[in-house]
Amino acid sequence: MTVDSYRFVDRITRRVLKAWEARGSYREIPWTPLTKPLAECTVAAVSTAGLALETDEPFDQESERQNPWWGDPSFRVIPRDATEKEVRSWHLHGNAANVKEDLNCVFPLAGLRELERRGEIGRSASRHYSFMGYILEPTALLSESTPEMIRLMREDAVDAVLLVPY
């Protein structure tokens, strides 16, 4: 089967997203092979749902309201045992109520713990990550936030990462 990428969006959004798709990428695709079975890998997840612990600093919604071309390029650490009770989505483009009802529809922390328990992955990393998924100008995202996240992942001996765009 082939997924229709734009089935659930309106006509104008579809037009914009298709234009973005057509811009494409001209770099060589980076590649690291998985060097051991998934059952031995430490796995981390990354969501762009703008998730933060309720006790952590929120993503900056107000600056995006002031300048709609801008998105907060920072990221947050979410511990492996976090649940929807402790986490909130600050993304201005989605329905935060779904995340509050069930974090795992965007960020599978419970699922990773379950797969760890069943021995299907080695372990769920101690730290997972979230960004805001509306960054039109990615300089700070790429030069500051992402390298710092990678540093933390290496500290935790992460082998494999599941990226989950929101």
Partner 1 sequence: MEEARLATTTLSTMPALTGSVGVPRLAGIGYPTGLPLGRPGDTLGQLAVLRAALATLESIQEPGTRIDLPFEWPDGVKVRTHPKEPPPIVGLLKRKPWLLPRFAAGKVPDS
Tell me which residues in 54-73 interact with partner 1 (CB under 8 A).
64-65, 67-70
Residue 108 lies near partner 1 (rule: CB under 8 A)? yes
The one segment of 51-59, 75-83, 147-155 that binds partner 1 by CB under 8 A: 147-155
Q: Which of 79, 148, 150, 155 binds partner 1 (CB under 8 A)?
A: 150
Total residues contacting partner 1 by CB under 8 A comes to 77
Per-residue DSSP letters for 26-85?
-SPPP-----S-GGG-EEEEEE-B-EEETTSPPP-HHHHHH-TT-----EEEEETT--TT
Residue 159 lies near partner 1 (rule: CB under 8 A)? yes
Residue 155 lies near partner 1 (rule: CB under 8 A)? no
Q: Which of 40, 54, 57, 105 binds partner 1 (CB under 8 A)?
A: 105
Closest CA to 55 of 8, 102, 24, 88: 88
